[in-house]
Amino acid sequence: MGKKKKKKKEVIKEGIIQAVAAEDTGEFARRFEAYHDELRWLYMELYDNGSMFAELCDRLGQFYRERSAALKESDRKREADPGWYKQNDMLGMMLYIDNFAGTLNGVKEKLSYLEQCRVNYIHLMPFLETPKGRSDGGYAVSDFRKVQKKLGTMEDLEGLTAACHEKGIRVCMDFVMNHTSEDHEWAVKAREGDGEYMSRYFFFENSYIPSLYENTVPQVFPTTAPGNFTWLPEQKHFVMTSFYPYQWDLNYKNPRVFNEMMYNFLYLANRGIDVIRIDAVPYIWKELNTQCRNLPQVHTIVRLMRIISEIVCPGILLLGEVVMEPEKVTPYFGTVEKPECHMLYNVTTMATTWHTVATRDVSLLKKQLDTVFNLPREYLFLNYLRCHDDIGWGLDYGTLAQNGMEERAHKKYLNDYFQGYAGESNSRGELYNADPITGDARFCGTTASMCGIEKAGFEQDDAAMERAIRLDVMLHAYMFVQSGIPVLYSGDEIGQVNDYSYKEDPDKAGDSRYLHRGALDWDLTARISDKNSVQGRLFDRLGQLEEIRRREKVFGSDASVHTAETWDRSVLCVERCFGKEKLVALFNFSETEKTAWIEAEDGEYLDLVSGQPMRAKDVKVPGYGFYYLKKR
């Protein structure tokens, strides 16, 4: 680098730091100084645009100044205790505001129910303005600074986050940064032919370039929204739409897009959001002749976001939505020196769990868990059984092939099984994006329906109901034994089943994910105090497990975790060790009694659930049963 150039750079840097310092306390300047060089380096690498960088720095200062005193105080506390979210006391729940309580203020009124559920982290599903009927469940945002009218206002959001913080509940929201709705003001202006705004998306006059992209870019919604481009007849242009035709992909090669989206991100963070879920993050950078997934520039952008949040609002966490195979997921943690996301979804484990339910064979799950357990303990995963999306059956087909299971046939088996058509299945649910060409299909259904609660309830079969509840509880017990943050899907705490009413709503009928996005039935929640009801039985048993998880240090993220052989294909053994404490957990994925042929260290163990002393040797585990055996 030439001497002259270096000097110029230094002058700019000093200028910015002085400008910032002049208006601020030492805190912001300290953080800014610590990250400036890397921030500038990465920004210039992507955009080589000094004036846009200067504008960004300026606005960071502004967002810092606008941040409330209470949030700044919480930032300081979390900065002083960077592992604050890695304890074993976190329990999450994801919920749609309207389904849960109508409005943001309604959620505020229901906080005591969430406390009863022992939940201290809530993910509010998309609530920003979105066009009716073209919303993709709120993932097509038309205004990043406005709440959907029917749900409330930005002030209501701030009121809710403040009320949550008072009760020690953290709040997560989606930041849908890959695309905007076609009704977003940028899209509206682009549609009018304004070049400045067209350059914020991907526009093409004819099909030539789009067809080149189509050669290499896979489809997200092959049946409900085929192709990656949409023809706009009035504009006589194609626009890139990787998801639905009304979700226009943003062009992050344009620094204006990056800057403005960062301002939106900080604006939302300043409303009191603790966790920002970066939606569809692998897709945010596009290059011809690639799959347009996980490109290196995506990681630069996530690292930039991390730095920006460390400077302005270090108390917030970034949660990456990376629904990909494991080797694509972990890079989103970044490195220890240059971290990107704080947390990621444990998606392959989730899909492998349901594969295990269908096959009663834990071998693939054991392998998958070992892979996750061997990752650095700094990596924090969100564990879940079901979320608002379909299950994509992203399994390790290489390993399955060694046992004669071929991908296409096995996916078909899983889909048939969970629809209740194959094997010893009691599940109920529906396919999602069944693609007749590739034979691929995904799956929708609630945890309870997939465990057999819907079928047993319909058939009024008490024995089947008890079995279904046992499976449901065992799956939660198994989820809780993993390190990270367990997240329930609203309704799972009472075994809420599929909701078929979406078929009567023309805005939803085409998207079977609404099957597991039904409104919470408050009449059913009222039954949790009735110990004989399905709801009461589930709620109680899950509550007991949550208490154990919170109380016992051996469930913390610092514990070492590994699986052990049980010599029975249906029984999984997970061991957790922390200091002198040891937990041997056994899970039977079949409906009949099995023996775990284990021989843990001698001595007495205590089953934390029943409180009974037990030996951890050749343990008989009842059908769909489990044990949490703690060494005494």
User: Judged by CB under 6 A, which stretch of 131-139, 198-206, 376-384, 609-617 contacts ligand GLC?
Assistant: 131-139
Angstrom distance (rounded) from CA 441 to CA 370: 28
Task: Assess contact for 536 and 530: CB atoms under 8 A.
Answer: yes
- Contact status: 139 vs ligand GLC (CB under 6 A): yes
Does residue 68 sit in helix, strand or coil? coil
- Contact status: 249 vs ligand GLC (CB under 6 A): no
- Rounded to a whole number of angstroms, the minimum distance from the CB of residue 138 to ligand GLC is 8
Which amino acid would we find at residue 488?
A: L
Q: Which token pair is 465?
A: 């109901």
User: Judged by CB under 6 A, which stretch of 1-9, 132-140, 250-258, 365-373 contacts ligand GLC?
Assistant: 132-140
User: Judged by CB under 6 A, which stretch of 136-144, 151-159, 301-309, 461-469 contacts ligand GLC?
Assistant: 136-144
Angstrom distance (rounded) from CA 465 to CA 471: 10
> Site size for ligand GLC, by CB under 6 A?
10
- Rounded to a whole number of angstroms, the minimum distance from the CB of residue 119 to ligand GLC is 20
Which CB atom, from 58 or from 505, has the smaller least distance to ligand GLC?
505
- Contact status: 279 vs ligand GLC (CB under 6 A): yes
Q: Which token pair is 92?
A: 């999450």
- Rounded to a whole number of angstroms, the minimum distance from the CB of residue 283 to ligand GLC is 9
Which CB atom, from 387 or from 616, has the smaller least distance to ligand GLC?
387
Angstrom distance (rounded) from CA 186 to CA 144: 12
Instruction: Name the catalytic one among 136, 249, 274, 279.
Output: 279
- Non-local (6+) Cβ contacts of 602 within 8 A are none
Please report, as residue ranges, which positions from 213 to 242 form the binding site for ligand GLC (by CB under 6 A).
none
Which CB atom, from 257 or from 561, has the smaller least distance to ligand GLC?
257
Angstrom distance (rounded) from CA 445 to CA 425: 14
DSSP character string of 284-305: S---TTS-SSS-HHHHHHHHHH
- Rounded to a whole number of angstroms, the minimum distance from the CB of residue 450 to ligand GLC is 19
- Contact status: 435 vs ligand GLC (CB under 6 A): no
Residue identified by tokens 């309704």 is 491
Which CB atom, from 43 or from 175, has the smaller least distance to ligand GLC?
175
Element (H, E) at 613: strand 613-621
- Non-local (6+) Cβ contacts of 360 within 8 A are 569, 570, 589, 590
- Rounded to a whole number of angstroms, the minimum distance from the CB of residue 182 to ligand GLC is 13
- Rounded to a whole number of angstroms, the minimum distance from the CB of residue 139 to ligand GLC is 3
Among 50, 106, 131, 137, binds ligand GLC (CB under 6 A): 137
Among 64, 243, 345, 627, binds ligand GLC (CB under 6 A): 243
Instruction: Name the catalytic one among 321, 492, 546, 591.
Output: 321
Which CB atom, from 139 or from 418, has the smaller least distance to ligand GLC?
139
- Rounded to a whole number of angstroms, the minimum distance from the CB of residue 364 to ligand GLC is 24
Which CB atom, from 78 or from 277, has the smaller least distance to ligand GLC?
277
Neighbours of 632 (CB within 10 A): 10
Among 39, 280, 312, 596, binds ligand GLC (CB under 6 A): 280
DSSP character string of 166-195: HTT-EEEEEE--SEEETTSHHHHHHHTT-H
Which CB atom, from 388 or from 442, has the smaller least distance to ligand GLC?
388
User: Judged by CB under 6 A, which stretch of 70-78, 110-118, 134-142, 561-569 contacts ligand GLC?
Assistant: 134-142
Site map 383..412 versus ligand GLC, x via CB under 6 A:
-----xx-----------------------
Return the closest-CA partner of residue 57 out of 71, 42, 40. 40
Neighbours of 208 (CB within 10 A): 9
Among 42, 176, 380, 629, binds ligand GLC (CB under 6 A): 176
Among 75, 136, 340, 493, binds ligand GLC (CB under 6 A): 136
Which CB atom, from 140 or from 450, has the smaller least distance to ligand GLC?
140
Residue identified by tokens 């006391």 is 89
According to DSSP H, which parts of 195-291 are helical?
195-198, 208-216, 255-269
Angstrom distance (rounded) from CA 304 to CA 41: 10
Q: Are strands 275-278 and 170-175 parallel, antiparallel or unpaired?
A: parallel
Which CB atom, from 96 or from 417, has the smaller least distance to ligand GLC?
96
- Rounded to a whole number of angstroms, the minimum distance from the CB of residue 137 to ligand GLC is 5
Which amino acid would we find at residue 97?
A: I
Half-sphere exposure of 302 (CA within 13 A, CB side): 35
Does residue 71 sit in helix, strand or coil? helix
Which CB atom, from 63 or from 100, has the smaller least distance to ligand GLC?
100
- Rounded to a whole number of angstroms, the minimum distance from the CB of residue 511 to ligand GLC is 9
Return the closest-CA partner of residue 249 out of 194, 199, 211, 288. 199
Neighbours of 363 (CB within 10 A): 14
- Rounded to a whole number of angstroms, the minimum distance from the CB of residue 275 to ligand GLC is 15
321 catalytic? Reply is: yes
55 catalytic? Reply is: no
Task: Assess contact for 134 and 508: CB atoms under 8 A.
Answer: no
SS (H, E, C) 302-366: HHHHHHHHHHHCCCCEEEECCCCCHHHHHHHHECCCCECCCEEECHHHHHHHHHHHHHCCCHHHH
Site map 310..349 versus ligand GLC, x via CB under 6 A:
-----------x----------------------------
Which CB atom, from 71 or from 281, has the smaller least distance to ligand GLC?
281
Angstrom distance (rounded) from CA 104 to CA 364: 42
- Contact status: 104 vs ligand GLC (CB under 6 A): no
Catalytically active residues, by annotation: 279, 321
| Binding site residues, ligand GLC, CB under 6 A | 136-137, 139, 176, 243, 279-280, 321, 388-389
